[in-house]
Amino acid sequence: MIGYFTNWGVYGRQYFVKNIVTSGSASKLTHINYAFGNVTNGGCTIGDAYADYDMAYTAANSVDGQADTWDNPSALRGAFNQLRKLKAQYPHIKVLFSFGGWTWSGGFGQAAKNPTAFANSCYNLVEDPRWADVFDGIDIDWEYPNACGLTCDTSGPNAMTDLVRALRNKFGKDYLITAAITADASSGGKLDLSDYAGAAQYLDWYNVMTYDFFGAWDAKGPTAPHSPLNSYSGIPIADFNSDAAVQKLKSKGVPASKILLGIGFYGRGWTGVTQSEPGGTATGAAPGTYEAGIEDYKVLKNSCPATGTVAGTAYAKCGSNWWSYDTPATINGKMSYSKNQGLGGAFFWELSGDTTNGELITAMSNGLK
């Protein structure tokens, strides 16, 4: 039961590590992925030093109600210190430092040219004496090896395997090493372009990003749920669904126990839509709080409640806006699927999208029992 915590969430979203406690989520999580560290010059680097270990916390925003003091400049501050305090209260939680992500995956190509140097840099950063006790693992979010994301990578089908093998050699057998990977199961698609089975032997599990299949980057539609569990009549792209990704990984030889199903704590939406069912035309991205076409569940639940379900997920039409997102009910179905398939569990992106009382994480936790 893994959730991503984003270091930028402490700014506009005002989501702090303390919120993991007050929402009731800390007792339900087994692991937290801290997102993101950057990948530059072939190595792991800090993404946001201020948010990570420099920001001074007030008593009100601190996990234990203790403010950071100005007169102790050597003390660890920021989210790293808050995670340390969280682990003191909830010792069952393991924390992994996640590197890359959509915006910062461009550096992996250079890293792949010298995997040993990459692994050494990551070890030195994650196990820095100032915060070594905070982290129990490292998560690689390369979007995407030997395929195109924000930029296109041409490292070859073995690059991912070489990279994670080097990490395993450096960090040792007891350290958690995981990777977030594509869910594109189309023929010749991203899952076919890298040796995910080969890499799996060095990893504890894969976080399969079974969301963002469809969205308002196709401004005129057709409207489609961004996280379908399975296929449905009229799906815009065959094999763009969660089950297809799971089955493809299994068929390649990835053990089910190393596959985690991904849940988005947000919706994707279009505007200029007249049809309530999926498959309608649109004029562009629906307005969102931080970015057009995307909105947190905690907002959508009230602003545009679900009006129907398709392929194991929900959708909503309100005015001329059309959104798709998961609800507690659809999450329950997805957790049943995870158990029935013998998967290792589930993860979600990301904590701040949930309600203040942790509605979605509760549904995940109950569903996995």
pLDDT in tens, 181-195: 999 999 999 999 999
pLDDT value of residue 299: 98
Question: CA-to-CA distance for 121 and 52, rounded, in angstroms?
Answer: 18
d(CA 4, CA 31): 9
CA-to-CA distance for 23 and 356, rounded, in angstroms?
5
Taking the alpha carbons at both ends of the chain, their separation in whole angstroms is 11
Residues labelled as active-site residues:
143
CA 198, 202, 207, 209 dihedral sign is: negative
- Tell me if 292 sits within 8 A of 283, measured CB to CB: no
- Count CB-CB contacts under 10 A for residue 66: 11
Residue 211 φ/ψ region, left for φ over 0, alpha for ψ in the -120 to 50 degree band, beta for the rest: beta
Task: Give the per-residue pLDDT at 283.
Answer: 98
Phi–psi pair at 32, nearest 5 degrees: -120, 130
Distance between CA atoms of residues 180 and 265, nearest Å? 16
Half-sphere exposure of 42 (CA within 13 A, CB side): 9
Query: What are the tens digits of pLDDT across the range 195-243?
Result: 999 999 999 999 999 999 999 999 999 999 999 999 999 999 999 999 9
Q: Kindly list the structural domains of the chain, giving each domain's residue range(s) and its CATH number in brackets, ordered by start.
A: 2-264+327-368 (3.20.20.80)
Q: What is the pLDDT of residue 72?
A: 76
Residues of the chain with pLDDT under 50: none
Backbone angles phi, psi at 137, to 5 degrees: -170, 175
Per-residue pLDDT, 73: 72
pLDDT at 223: 98
Q: How far lies 62's CA from each of 18, 126, 353, in Å?
A: 6, 23, 20
